[in-house]
Amino acid sequence: MVRLIQVGMGGMGNAWLRAVGGSDEAEYAGLVEIDEAIARKQCDAYDLNPGTVYATLSEALGRLEADGVLVITPPQFHREQSVEALRAGVPVLSEKPLADTMEAAAEIVTAADETGVLHMVAQNYRYSVPVQTLKSVLDSGAVGQVGAATVRFFRGPHFGGFRESMAHPLIVDMSIHHFDMMRYLLGREVVQVRGFAFNPAWSWFDGDASAHLSLSCEGQVQVGYHASWCSQGAETPWNGEWRFECEGGVVTLEGDRVLVYRPGAEPEPVPEVALPRTGQSYLLHEFVEALRGGPRPATTCQDNIRSLEIVFRALSAVGSGD
Ligand SMILES: NC(=O)c1ccc[n+]([C@@H]2O[C@H](COP(=O)([O-])OP(=O)(O)OC[C@H]3O[C@@H](n4cnc5c(N)ncnc54)[C@H](O)[C@@H]3O)[C@@H](O)[C@H]2O)c1
């Protein structure tokens, strides 16, 4: 069994507590949580030994033998915790975003490069049935090359917590998933971002919860991105609704279903791909396989910094890149 230390047992901590709890190839060496009440509550809920929970990662690394560290804390702590684990020679699987600034992200990449220790980022949106089905159609070449894409994302979540006081909650905390999906689905890097971010009068977020962006990718492929986190109805799925203008037709992801439209023909639903693992379970398995000498994960920090770069290009485009 691969032995892990999980740092952060809060909201998203639940998804990882379930993934590790349900895994037959990984287990906890220990956990780290600064909030004692959260630690107690989660130990009760997941039947964990409170004696294995530490207040700091340094303490846990000093006392435990671990094969990997899961970083599941808010973004501003990712640099410190990722770099500490990497410099101690322990591989990291970190929640997105890689870091809260490009400078912090670059420091993590430098630590991973200098130590040769694996650091990967959890881009779970890539590993769902709808997104893998979409990817398989686009990659098959059946509808020809992609010339342009449109993404629509509209939801109205009331999270409370750190997101409601961020300057750009949508672009920094949510759109990173869609930007990473864009790179993955198109197989192209984003080279320019233009657009606007704004906060409708009724928004319950302090920062801009809506954005209209225009992203130019390599090979002149253009993407329109319209999104809001303070929408009051007609919500899209978390993946968003996607439309790809292709040489031989249009491929869409609508209501998490993939359809192919060809000129003059009825829309063709695409059968879903079968996946043995999705989301966090997929990522955990990919991490464990890499620790055992298997293939290098797709979303290493060296790759993922390019997804994060789109976030900062977008912030700069909307006039908040400082
Ligand atoms: N992949 C996804 O779909 C997805 C969804 C939600 C959140 N996330 C990401 O997960 C990360 C955590 O978000 P969350 O919603 O769980 O936040 P949260 O605030 O609910 O939980 C974070 C936990 O970390 C703890 N913590 C904070 N600083 C710590 C420290 N220095 N040492 C130890 N513990 C510390 C907090 O006490 C809290 O329990 C963020 O990066 C967020 O963007 C990803």
Q: Which two tokens stand for residue 54?
A: 């530490």
Q: Where are the domains of the chain?
A: 2-122+278-299, 126-275
Task: Please count the other Cβ atoms lying within 10 Å of the Cβ belonging to residue 58.
Answer: 13
Which helix (H) or strand (E) segment holds residue 86: the answer is: helix 78-87
The tens place of each residue's pLDDT in the chain, 322 residues long, gives 999 999 999 999 999 999 999 999 999 999 999 999 999 999 999 999 999 999 999 999 999 999 999 999 999 999 999 999 999 999 999 999 999 999 999 999 999 999 999 999 999 999 999 999 999 999 999 999 999 999 999 999 999 988 899 889 999 999 999 999 999 999 999 999 999 999 999 999 999 999 999 999 999 999 999 999 999 999 999 999 999 999 999 999 999 999 999 999 999 999 999 999 999 999 999 999 999 999 999 999 999 999 999 999 999 999 964 4
Q: Which two tokens stand for residue 95?
A: 């929640």
- Separation of CA 175 and ligand 1 centre (Å): 17
Phi, psi of 122 (to 5 degrees): -80, 95
Cα–Cα distance list, 1 to 18, 67, 68, 280 (Å) = 16, 10, 11, 17
CATH number given to 2-122+278-299: 3.40.50.720
pLDDT, position 296: 97
pLDDT, position 162: 83
End-to-end CA distance of the chain: 44
In what side-by-side order are the strands of the sheet with 26-32? 53-54, 26-32, 2-7, 68-71, 92-95, 119-122
What single-letter DSSP state applies at residue 216?
A: E
**CB-ligand 1 contact for 250 (6 Å cutoff):** no
Q: Do domains 2-122+278-299 and 126-275 have the same CATH topology?
A: no
Query: Residue 36: left if φ>0, alpha if ψ -120 to 50, beta else—which one?
Result: alpha
Q: Which two tokens stand for residue 202?
A: 């009724």
What single-letter DSSP state applies at residue 173?
A: I
pLDDT, position 129: 98
CATH number given to 126-275: 3.30.360.10
- Separation of CA 121 and ligand 1 centre (Å): 14
**CB-ligand 1 contact for 16 (6 Å cutoff):** no
Answer for the pair 151, 223: CB distance below 8 angstroms, yes or no: yes
Answer for the pair 177, 125: CB distance below 8 angstroms, yes or no: yes
- Separation of CA 43 and ligand 1 centre (Å): 17
Nearest CA to ligand 1 atom 7: 12
Say how far apart CA 314 and CA 190 lie, in whole Å: 11
**CB-ligand 1 contact for 161 (6 Å cutoff):** yes
pLDDT, position 322: 42
**CB-ligand 1 contact for 7 (6 Å cutoff):** yes
Answer for the pair 4, 67: CB distance below 8 angstroms, yes or no: yes
Nearest to 104 by CA among 70, 84, 71, 80: 80
| Sign, CA torsion 305/306/311/315 | positive
SS3 56: coil
